[in-house]
Chains A and B, each alone.
Chain A
Amino acid sequence: MKARFLALWTVAVVATAASLIVHLTLRFETVRLGYEVGKVRKEQGKLMESQRLLALEAATLRQTDRVETVARGTLGMDVANAPRIIMVGRKAKRMAGRAE
């Protein structure tokens, strides 16, 4: 009777201690992961902002005025007039067919 009581008592104490440990571990892990997520999120935000800045820079470099200036000035390019443009390939054939 006494031994059984002791056994049950021990089981109860161990179970309580174990659940406490599990709870604390989970709590600790949640907090740790929370910090981790916060850190990663901050990093993600920074990267997204950098990406946005780079996109803005690219868009600025692609300004039509600038492209035209570079093409005409630096590269010496000029607009091809209509007779110099020859459409080849399927699209041209299709469009020519439609034109007629």
Chain B
Amino acid sequence: MNRIQDTGRRQKYMRVRVAVLFSFLVVFAALVVNRAFYWQVVRADELRAMAEDQYMRNIPLSPKRGSILDRHGAELAVSVEVDSVAADPKALVDSGAKLENVAATLAQLLGVNEARLLRRMKLPKSRFTWIKRRVSPAEGKAVRNLHINGILVTKEAQRFYPNGGLAAHVLGFANIDGRGIEGLELTLDENLRGSSEKVPAIRDRRGRIVFSKQLLDDRAAAGDEVTVTLDKTIQHLAEQELELTVRTFEARAGSIVVMDPKTGEVLAMANFPTYNPNVPGESSVGQRRNRSVTDRFEPGSTIKPFTVAGALSRRAVAPSQQIDCEGGEMQVAEYVIHDSHHWDSLTPGQILAHSSNIGTAKIGLALGRPGLHQALRSFGFGEKTGVRLPGETAGILRHHKRWYEMDAATISFGQGMSATALQITTAMAALANGGKVMHPVLVKRIRDARGDVLEDTMPRVRRRVVPRRTAQLVTEMLTGVTGKGGTGEEASIDGYLVAGKTGTAQKADYVHGGYAKGKWSSSFVGFAPAHAPKLVVSVVIDEPLIAYYGGTVAAPAFRRVMEKSLRHLGVPTDHQGGRLAPHLASHRREKLKEKKLKESLRLAAKTVAELAASNPENSDTVQSQRPPGAGDAQGAAASAPPEEGQVRVPELLGLDVRKAVIKARSNRLSVRLNGSGVVVGQQPEQGSVVAEGSVVSIELNPPGHALPPASKKDEETLQKGQSSVEGTVHNGTHDGLHARNSSFPSAVLAQAVSGGGL
């Protein structure tokens, strides 16, 4: 009984225990859940922040400054990492190192002042001070090897200009902290610098970065890459020639601007004196000034083409109008305008060629004050071009309402106003491209570090200033300037027709008023090839001492820069060139002779036929004088002059490539070359009459190689061809001789044979 009672009691006690335990567990679980909720939900954000604060660090991103490239991708400015040495004075003191010893060691290693270094190291509570920035890799390594606690070697970006002073004024330079100070480095600083920002990253207790999403692609913060329109080679040529000119004529300074007239892209902008942007501190402010855009000068006669263009487009003068040049002196108000030569009357073209002040003044006066002001203003004078360079000046072109009585006359030939070299170049580019004033472009493209294009500059027309026909007309007139007897003869280039204008202006004396005695600015601005302009080049030389005429000082520099630049760009020589290359000149002479000969023979043949028709006896005599072989049809075809649009294939066998190509081209034929060496075969054969511009296929073999069988045949053909070519001349000669004998118009034929023309 008791046993049953005990069992029942134990069971009951067990249940109670289980219940108590369960209750306890429930309460405990509730407490755990409560605390968990409190920590995980209620204070979650605060605790997460605390945790992140312990293991996350904000890593400062020091983005590389973007590179500057030329139009072909050549580096003009790049940034690379170099070592810089700094100290943590507090850590130095805490490490127990003897500061005097540390300072002595570092001073010796880095070549810095020991006392100054020691003073910096003893700065109280300071945690950072520079010891030396931008040290050499060897110096950085040596400092690292010292293993001094509190001396740090950090990486810093340094700007390098690998081409030294090339395009220094355009590029400018950045300071030691990577901020643009001059040139494009300044105007595009925001793009080039990139964004300095701090990104969170997990670091371990040793400070090593464990992970950072943002750090995986830090290109987002890097500086943009800028491609400029400059051509490194043309820039070099311009700088080289400018320095040569300034030194030769002992000038004070000078500028050269080269522009593509179709797009307005600036291919070179050279200034002298210059400096090395790698060490800008070694140069003066004057050396660092980009004179092409910051310095204005009185353009003098270089303004005349724009006055004439304005007058022609407004029909104030006619292209063939004779303008009275008053024999070299003209009174305007109380002043007298002079010409260097005394002309009675000149056409606008002659006025430009001889640079007549009086003629231009008369054109300016015919245009009227508002007309002249509007014409020059529309060419861009008196307003900034908007090129992305700091310190650009607009030049001076006062409103016509504020002009003095004399101004309409003097401004028309470039006195009483001022312009920059870039403005003159842009205005001349407008004449070269058919009358459109373009926005000068210097920045071609901007890409971010990922390669995405942020900005791509397309050619932009500012305004159309004169009709195409007027621009062409003025271009024709400007070719006379570089022609024989023109003021810019020195600017003419063998093989290319050059249009341009010289300028010689006395400098204004801003201290005493009027013009400074003996201070001149000489200039030349022009373009080539005149009929299909590729480049506009302006040369401005400030205060030359040896000579001062633009045609003497600036024109030769123009010629050299233009000639070399055209060659660099692969622009073929111009068949209409004023001064042509020797082979082209002889080709032109030959063409002329040939044409006249053909014409004479045609006339002679016609006369013969007419005479023969009227007098059968004479006709028989003529036929009997034909050379052997001329009687058959083939011989007649071979010896007869080719018809209009046709040419005879010349003999090319045995010639080297150069001579063969010249000969073929002088006969208005194209060539296809196979192999190298001397010509051993050609197709079509020499003597064949083909259409102008036909392709002659030339087989070449190295000299000394035996002629292939086919070429022997060609050789025979050559001889045959030669005889037929000779036959042509003999034919004429015979006809000529016969003509004399048979009362032909002898003067006509004598001229025909000698190539003198009719």
Contacts and interface: CB of A to CB of B under 8 A. Distances in A.
B209 A85 contact: no
A56 B78 contact: yes
Contact of B162 (A49, A60, A85, A88): A60
A51 to B, nearest CB: 10
A75 B202 CA distance: 58
Given A55-B75, A93-B670, A83 B164 contact: no
A99 B532 contact: yes
Given A62-B74, A64-B233, A80-B567, 4 more contacts: A82-B573, A88-B661, A95-B571, A99-B576
11 contacts: A34-B209, A35-B208, A37-B216, A62-B162, A63-B164, A81-B494, A81-B581, A83-B495, A86-B661, A86-B665, A99-B529
A12 B561 CA distance: 88
A82 B80 contact: no
B215 interface: yes
B199 to A, nearest CB: 13
Nearest to A33: B211
Contacts, number: 102
A78 interface: no
Nearest to A90: B670
B531 A88 contact: no
Interface in A72-100: 79-88, 91-93, 95-96, 98-100
B163 interface: yes
A79 B208 CA distance: 58
B216 A55 contact: no
Interface of A: 30-31, 33-35, 37-38, 41, 49, 52-53, 55-56, 59-60, 62-65, 68, 79-88, 91-93, 95-96, 98-100
Contacts of A84: 658
B567 A85 contact: yes
Contacts of A65: 164, 236
Contacts of A31: 210-211
B671 interface: yes
A74 to B, nearest CB: 18
Nearest to B233: A64
Contacts of A88: 661, 671, 673
A80 B581 CA distance: 12
Interface of B: 64, 74-75, 78-81, 160, 162-164, 166, 202, 208-211, 215-216, 232-233, 236, 493-496, 529, 531-532, 563-564, 567, 570-576, 581-584, 658, 661-662, 665, 670-671, 673
B160 A56 contact: yes
B216 to A, nearest CB: 7
Residue in B64, B211, B571 with the greatest tally of chain A CB atoms within 10 Å: B211
A81 B575 CA distance: 16
A60 B575 CA distance: 40
A52 B80 contact: yes
Contacts of B496: 82
Contacts of B670: 93
A98 B262 CA distance: 15
A43 to B, nearest CB: 13
A52 B211 CA distance: 26
A87 B581 contact: no
A37 B208 CA distance: 12
Residue in A31, A55, A85 with the greatest tally of chain B CB atoms within 10 Å: A85
A50 to B, nearest CB: 10
A49 B162 CA distance: 16
B163 A59 contact: yes
B75 A35 contact: no
Given A52-B80, A55-B75, A80-B567, A99 B236 contact: no
Nearest to B670: A93
A63 to B, nearest CB: 5
B693 to A, nearest CB: 8
Given A37-B216, A38-B211, A86 B662 contact: yes
A31 B573 CA distance: 69
Residue in B496, B564, B665 with the greatest tally of chain A CB atoms within 10 Å: B665
